[in-house]
Structure 1
Amino acid sequence: MKALVYRGPGRKAWEDVPDPELVDPTDAIVRITAATICGTDLHILKGDVPEVEPGRILGHEGVGVVEQVGAAVTEIKPGDRVLVSCISACGRCSYCRTGMYGQCLGGGGWVLGHTVDGTHAEYVRVPFADTSTYLLPDGVTDTAAVMLSDILPTAFEVGVLAGKVQPGQTVVIVGAGPIGLAAIETARFYSPGHVVAVDLAEARLDAAKQFGADVTVNAADDVERVVFELTGGLGADLAIEAVGVPETFELCARLIRPGGRVANVGVHGKPATLHLEKLWIRNVTITTGLVDTVTTPTLLTMLAGGRLDADRFATHRFALDEMEAAYDVFERAAETGALKVVLTR
C-alpha cells in the first residue's frame, strides 16, 4: 500500500510500505476512505515530537471501512463504516475506567501516527478497535465525520469544557486555526456573552466570524486593550490558547480577569514563561490536557441530528494519493487560506 512516511525533521515521503496486519485480537484493519492533516503532524515534521521515529506512518484522523477484525472484536465487523478516533483506549486500565482515555496505561492514548503507524495511508491497523472506533450513521459524510477524529473533541474537551464556559461570559480564543474555530463553534453551546477571536491572518479572522465570533482582533494590534475595553476593564473570563507557542500562552495569561481561566489546547514545542509573580494573587486557573475523546459520541449525535456543522471546516480537497500536495497546502495555510484539508479515495 501507499502511505505518508516520516523520514526525520523536515522530511516525509508518500511511498510503498507493507500492508498492516492484525497483531492483537483486539485490532481491526480499516481501509481509509477519508483523512485529514492536523497541526500536530506539522509539529512532528518540525521535530517537536521526538518520540516519533523515522519510518513512522503519520496521521491520527480518519474515516474508513472495516476490512478485518481480530478474534476479540465484537462491536464492529467487516463492511462497517467507522470513525477512527485519534485516541486509542484499552478500556480496562484505571485511567480508561475514569474516562481519561488519553492517559491510557494499557497501550493506548495518542498512539496513531505517534508510536504506531497512523491514518495517512490506504489502510491502518486500529488497536483496541471496539473502544477506538465509532460506527457512522447513514447520512453523515466522510468529510464531516473526520472532523470528529480530533479537532472537535479536542477543542470541546480541552478548551471549552476544561475552561468551564458559562452563559454570558467573555471567551477569548487565541488562534483561529481549525482548533480555534472548533472552540468557537462548541463554546456557542453554552451561550457566552462575547466570543473574541485573535489571529495574525485576516483570512482566519474572517473564518472566525463565519463560525460565530462576535469580535475579531489581529494579533499584531493591541489585543489587551480591545479585550479590557470590551469587558469594562475586567478582562476575559476564559482565554483558550489554540496555537502552541510561548507568545500566545503568555498573551492568554495577560488577558484574563481575577478568577479567570486559561485553557491551553495548543501543542508546545518550546518552554513558555509562567509569570507566577503576577498570577498567584489573582485566583487564576490554568488547565492543560490531551483530548480523551469522551465527547465523541455526543458530538456524533449532534452531527447526525444537524446540530453541528462540521463540513465547513474543509476548505481544500485532495485525492488520497495527493498527500504530499495536501501537506504543502496545509503547511502554507497563511498563504493558501487552508483550514482543514480532506483527502479521499
Structure 2
Amino acid sequence: MRAVVLEEFQEPLQVQDVERPEPESHGIVAEVNGCGVCRSDWHCWQGDWDWFGYRPDPPHILGHEPCGTVVAVGEDVESVSEGDHIAIPFNFACGKCDLCRNGHENICENHVGLGFMNEAPGAFAEEVHVPHADINAVPLPGSIHPDTAAGIGCRFMTSYHAMAHRGDVGNGEDVVVHGLGGIGLSAVHIANALGANVIGVDLFDEKLDKAESLGAVETVNASEVDDAAKEVQDITNGGADCSVDALGIETTCLNAVNSLKKGGRHVQVGLTTSEEAGQVPLPTDEFVAKEIDFRGSLGLQPSRYSEMLDMIKTGKLDPTELVSETISIDEVPDKLAAMSDYDTMGIPVCSDFS
C-alpha cells in the first residue's frame, strides 16, 4: 500500500510502497477514508517532542487524524465488525488500567500515540492498524458523512475536550483563543456552540476573519497592538474567564495567561517546539494572587465521543466548516512543508490514497 514515510527528521518526506498491516488479536485494520494534515505531524517530522516520548524511530508512517472503514478484525475483538465506519482517536488506550476504567482513557497509563510512536504506525496510508479496538475504534452514526468524520480527528476532538471538559466553558463566559490554526479555530467554533463569547487572537487577518465566521465576537491582530493580553482585558472589561493557548510557544502561552481575570482558568492545548523543549516560564505570582487555574488538555476520551457526535448530528457543530481543502496522499509532504511558515489555515484533509 502507499504511505507517507518519515525516513529522516527534517528531510523531505516520501510516499512509498509499504506492507499492509495485519490485525493483532485485540485490534482491527481500517481502510483510511480521510486523515487530517496537522501541525503535530510537522512537529514529529521535525524531530520535536522526544522529551515526552513522541519521537519515533525512522522509517515511520506519519498521520494521526483518521476515520475509516473496518476491513479486518482480530479474533479477540467483540464490538467491532468488518464494514463498520469508525473514528480513530490518536490517543490509543489499553482499556484496562485505572485511568481507563475511571473515564480518563485519553491519558491511559499505557498510552500510545498514533503516528508518533514506534508501536503505532500512522494513517497517511491506505490502511491503518487500531489496537485494543473495542475501546479505540469509535463507531460513527450513519448520519455522519465520511467527509464530516474526516474533520473530527485530533484537532477538532482535542478542542472539544479542551472547551467542554477541561475549560468547562459556556453560560455567556468570555473565552479567548490565542493561535488560530486548526486547533484554535476548532476551539472558537466549539466554545461558541457551548454558549461562550469568544475572542480570537492571531497574527494573520485571514485567520481572524475565519474565526469571526465561526462565531468569534471580537478578534485581535497581535501584530498590530503593543500588548495583545491588554487588548483582551479591555474588550472583556477586566479579563477573560477562560483562555486557550492553541499554539504552544512562549508568547502565546504568556499572552493567554495574562488575558485572564481573577479566578480565571487557562487551558493549555498547544505543545511546544524544540526551541522551548517543553519548558515555558509562567507568572507564578499571578497564579497565586489571582487564583488562576492552569489545566492541560490531551485528546478526547473515546467514551465521550458521543457528546461531540450528538452535537454534530444536531447541527450545533460542523467540522466541515474547519476543513480548508481536500488533498491526495502525494500532496501531503508539501502541505506539511508549508507549515514551516504557518502557511496553512483550518484543517487540510487527505482523502485520496490512490
Settle same-fold status: TM greater than 0.5.
Answer: yes
Show the counterpart of 1:311: 320
Alignment match of 1:287 (pick from 295, 301, 306): 295
**Partner of 1:339 in structure 2?**
346
The equivalent residue for 2:232 is 227
SS in 2 for 1:295: helix
Residue 53 of structure 1 aligns to a residue whose secondary structure is coil
1:201-244 CA distance string (max 9 Å, x none): 11110110010000010111232332222222x21111111011
TM (norm. structure 1) is 0.92
State the secondary structure of the residue aligned to 1:240. Answer: strand
Aligned ranges 1:77-226 → 2 under 5 Å: 77-105=81-109, 107-115=110-118, 116-192=120-196, 194-220=197-223, 221=225, 222-226=227-231
Q: Structure 1: which 5+ runs fail to align?
A: none
Structure 1 pair 301/164, CA: closer, same or farther in 2 (3 Å)?
Answer: closer
Contact 1:5-1:15 at 8 Å conserved across structures = yes
- Is 1:254 matched up with 2:258? yes
SS at match of 2:122: coil
SS of aligned partner of 2:201? strand
Q: Relative to structure 2, which stretch is displaced further, 275-284 or 107-116?
A: 107-116
Give distance in 2, aligned partners of 1:71 and 1:124. 17
Q: Which amino acid aligns with 1:144?
A: T
Contact 1:330–1:339 at 8 Å: present in 2 too?
Answer: no
| Letter of the 1:263 counterpart | V
Q: Which runs of 5+ in 2 are unaligned?
A: none
CA distance in 1, matches of 2:246, 2:330: 30
- Between the aligned partners of 2:241 and 2:312, the Cα distance in structure 1 is 28
Matches of 2:339 and 2:249, distance apart in 1: 18
The 8 Å contact of residues 34 and 320 in structure 1, kept in 2 or not, is answered as no
1:31-89 CA-partner distances (Å, limit 9, x unpaired): 11211111211111222122322111111111211111000112121122222222222
Tell me if 1:40 matches 2:49: no
Q: Structure 1 residues 276-285 or 252-261, which shifts more?
A: 276-285
CA offsets 1:244-287 (integer angstroms, 9 cap, x no match): 11111111121111111111110113121112133322111101
Q: 1:137 offset after TM fit, Å?
A: 2.3
How many angstroms does 1:3 deviate by? 0.9
Give the distance between the partners of 1:189 and 1:260, measured in 2 at CA.
Answer: 20
State the match for 1:55 in structure 2.
Answer: 59
Bigger shift: 113-122 or 315-324?
A: 315-324
* TM-score, normalisation: structure 2: 0.90
Q: Report if aligned partners of 1:333, 1:339 keep a CA contact under 8 Å in 2.
A: no
Amino acid of the structure 1 residue aligned with 2:147: T
* Residues 1:165 and 1:101: Cα distance change in structure 2 (over 3 Å): same
CA distance in 2, matches of 1:168, 1:159: 13
Identity in percent? 28
After the TM superposition, list the runs of 4 or more consecutive aligned residues in structure 1 that deviate by more than 4 angstroms. Answer: 329-333
Q: Does 194-203 or 130-139 show the bigger shift?
A: 130-139
**Cα separation, 2, equivalents of 1:8 and 1:283:** 45
- Comparing 293-302 with 56-65, greater Cα deviation is found at 293-302
Q: Deviation digits for residues 278-308 of structure 1, max 9, x if unmatched?
A: 3322111101132233431221222233332
